[in-house]
Structure formats: C-alpha cells, structure tokens
Amino acid sequence: MLDIRVNGSSQTVAEVIRSVRDVPARVIPYAASTAMTRVASLAAKTELPAAMRSSFDRPTRWTLNSLAIEPATRDKLSARIFVKNEAAGGVPQENYLLPGVEGGVRREKGFERALRYRGLMRAGESAVPSSSASQDAYGNVRRAIYSKLLNSLGTRGSPYFVGAVGVKKTRGIWERGAFRRYIGKKKIRSVRPIFLFTQKRPVYRARLDFAGVAEMTALKNFGPEFNRAAAAILSRPR
C-alpha cells in the first residue's frame, strides 16, 4: 500500500506547536488538524502530481488524479495521503505506481496469466510489448489490443500467432500477412512482433519519492497553514 501520514511526530509539526505563544491551548488541536489536512491536500493535488510529471513519461490523468486524503481531526492529529485502488475496468492505480515508488520486479499481468492458462506462454516467461504494439497518446499499449489478441489467437484466419521466429527463434506474439518486404525484386510476406516473450521478469527503477515529496510539503507549508487556521478560528465571534 502507498500512503504517508502528516502527524505530530513530524519535526516541523511538533516544533510549530511548541513555539506557539499567543494561541490559546483550546485552539491548537483545531488549527493543527486543519493545517495537516491542508498540507495533505496540497501534496496530493499539486506537489505529488507535479513530481509524477517529472518522474514518469506522460502520466495519464487517471494516474495524476490517483491520490486521496484522509483528513486529520482534533482527536487524531494525523492526515493520511494514499493511492486509490480503483480499477474502473482497468488496472488499479496502486498496481503500477507502487513499482515506480519502490522499484523491484514487475508483478505478473492478467494478460500473461491468460496466455499461460491457454498454454501459449511457458512458465517463467513474461510478455514485453514491441514497438509494433499499438500505443495511446501516453505511450501505453492500448487496452483494446489485449482483448483483441486473446480473442484472435488460435482462431482460423487470425493474423496473430504465438511462435518462435527468426534465426534466434525468438518467442512471442507475431502478426503475419499485412506486411511485405523485398528481397531483390521479389516481394515476400513478412511478420512483425507485437509482444516478445522473455525469461527475465521486467524490473522497475524507483523514480518517484512519494514520502519525500509529502514530507517536504509539510516542512514548507505546515507553519503558515497553522497560523492561518489559528487566526481564522480566533477571528470568529464567540
């Protein structure tokens, strides 16, 4: 799970509260909880999405809007920032954000499990898209290609097949028939790879400092937000 908390153990939070002189004790929990919630919201809606744009290649709106917060209260001085785990017909955001934050080996995809179940992929193989795989504006393989391949592979007349092609007998999902090349003056049919199978599981590099961005947001903004919240509370008619 990806989440981070802005709480009273944070150095800046504790220091700000200890430094309060003119704010009545009764106001401190309300001002602190309001400030923590505002800091968490700023991190989730502005600072972390900005870091995603810098760290990832063309992140989608689905990714940029993947964060939510659990607000602090006067009795629970802790605001939580977390990644939504919604699928909406696709891949839950946490599934692909987690490797970008922590790094490590990519988990098996549903597409790969389906291929393995049908005996088209061997144990230990992973499917890696080639440059021929249809991509969207964000550089991701279009979702439709997965269902298209699963529905077409093994059917009569399908241009797609699983096999080992070339001198190196490279295994993968290939498309035949629609591409032609010339050897001298002779035109021959060719094939192109859509997915290549590899025995080495893809590894992600940690790129987004999720906790670090949230912490820096708190260090920079908690003090001003606490003072603003306290001033607003004290200005209310009693």
Compute the distance between CA of residue 30 and CA of residue 75 in angstroms, rounded to an integer.
9
DSSP strands (E only) in the chain? 3-7, 67-70, 78-83, 104-105, 126-129, 160-165, 170-183, 186-198, 203-204
Scanning the structure block, which residue is given the tokens 């005996």? Answer: 119
pLDDT (0 to 100) of residue 90: 57
> Do 48 and 213 contact (CB within 8 A), yes or no?
yes
pLDDT (0 to 100) of residue 12: 64
Compute the distance between CA of residue 205 and CA of residue 49 in angstroms, rounded to an integer.
18
Compute the distance between CA of residue 33 and CA of residue 73 in angstroms, rounded to an integer.
5
Compute the distance between CA of residue 121 and CA of residue 162 in angstroms, rounded to an integer.
8
pLDDT (0 to 100) of residue 125: 94
For the chain (238 residues), the mean pLDDT of every run of 10, in chain order, is 60 68 83 92 95 87 88 90 70 69 81 95 93 78 89 91 91 80 61 92 84 89 91 83
pLDDT (0 to 100) of residue 96: 66
Number of residues in the chain: 238
pLDDT (0 to 100) of residue 2: 54
Q: pLDDT digit string (tens) for 135-160?
A: 877 777 888 899 999 999 989 889 99
Q: pLDDT digit string (tens) for 63-79?
A: 888 899 999 998 988 89
pLDDT (0 to 100) of residue 66: 86
